[in-house]
Amino acid sequence: MSKGLHNPPGRIPCEPPCQMNEPSPSRRTSTYKPALAWFSAIGGLWVFVLVTLGAFTTSIGAGMIFPDWPLSDGSIDPHGWLHNIDMFAEHSHRLSAMTMGIITIILSVWLWKREERPWLRKLGWIALGLVVFQGLLGGLRVMLNGWQVNDFTMTVGQMIRIPHGIVAQLYACNLLAIAAACSRPWIEGRIPVARSLARFGIICCCLLLVQLTVAVLMRDNFAGLAIPFFPYSNIHGGFLPDAWNFRVGLNFTHRMMALVLAVALVRYAWKIHTDRGSSMVMQVGATLMVCLLAIQILLGAKVIWSHRDPLVTTGHVVCGALLLVTTFTLTWFAHRDRIESAPQA
């Protein structure tokens, strides 16, 4: 009998030796995942359902139709909400926010389990943090509505509407960044655009964020008709208001920023169309950006001419959000190669 190792009876020999406790390979990849891409796109679309309902609720002054939170009149199905427009607007906004939270939870966990790129997994957790923070702001807006502050015309709850509106824009951009990074054009293509184009996109995004912040301040200070004329700023056909106060200043700043943005965004679109590295997706997006800009200016004029008709005002808010995320997504794509080639933590 030869000396050496013997296999016990009934044991199948392992060649090479078996490693019984070796962990299974990671399921994380950076390849295109159709299901994840579509789900992230749905999340990016649903945020505009939320923005639309929030804008409509504010436009008709229905934000405090229910004095409690997170339930509405103590119920998830308050009596009469399907027949009263104020109740429908606010409760639909709350239900859509709850749905948005569920979508974000699923998306962040999905990214954590399946996505290899660390920065994209972090974006998922940031989105989750933003949606939780936004929900808390919405709740505080209701619960602190009666808290009055000396020397302020707005209550604490009314003041919270301002960060609530700003965070909504940041959250929308975050979701669109995730959806873009999960898309096939991002994963399977290269976008070697000029650095000057990418930098100019950042400038345009910053200008839009400033404009939307001014718009939130203007809306929540009831300054939308502080200058009730357009395109002029006074009854005599002049471009400067006859008298100045805080609300007039906000309204006039909003108009001047619109003029600056009109020049900047048209130039940005031209730079995209003439850059040799820009893809067809970016060129289509640039055309869409200019179209949204034109619609936004017309809606802004119509808001004044219609004396803040709720549907027109809602359309103006939603179109502004669409303009921001379109410009942001174009800028995000312009930075694609630099983002993907950056050292991973």
Question: pLDDT tens, position by position, for the chain (345 residues)?
Answer: 444 444 445 444 444 444 444 434 468 888 999 999 999 999 999 999 999 999 999 999 998 999 999 999 999 999 999 999 999 999 999 999 999 999 999 999 999 999 999 999 999 999 999 999 999 999 999 999 888 877 677 888 888 988 998 999 999 999 999 999 999 999 988 888 999 999 999 999 999 999 999 999 998 888 989 999 999 998 888 999 999 999 999 999 999 999 999 999 999 999 999 998 888 889 999 999 999 999 999 999 999 999 999 999 999 999 999 999 999 999 999 999 999 987 765
Residue whose structure tokens are 């005599």: 236
Q: Is 7 exposed, middle or buried (0-12, 13-18, 19+ CB in 10 A)?
A: exposed
Task: Extract long-range pairs of 27-34: CB within 8 Å, 24+ residues apart.
Answer: 27/113, 27/114, 28/113, 28/114, 28/115, 28/116, 29/114, 29/115, 29/116, 30/115, 30/116, 30/117, 30/187, 31/187, 32/182, 32/183, 32/184, 32/187, 32/188, 33/114, 33/182
Residue whose structure tokens are 């906004």: 93
Compute φ and ψ for 344, nearest 5 degrees.
-90, 135
Note the pLDDT of residue 279.
87
Percent of residues in the chain assigned helix, strand, coil, to nearest 5: 65, 0, 35
Compute φ and ψ for 229, nearest 5 degrees.
-125, 150
Nearest 5 degrees, angle CA 204-CA 209-CA 214?
125
Note the pLDDT of residue 221.
86
Nearest-angstrom CA–CA distance, 227 and 207: 22
Residue type, 166: I
Residue type, 186: W
> 62 is written with which tokens?
């229905």
pTM of the model: 0.88
Nearest-angstrom CA–CA distance, 247 and 182: 43
Note the pLDDT of residue 344.
65
> 11 is written with which tokens?
């044991």
Who contacts 249 (Cβ-Cβ below 8 Å, separation ≥6)?
none
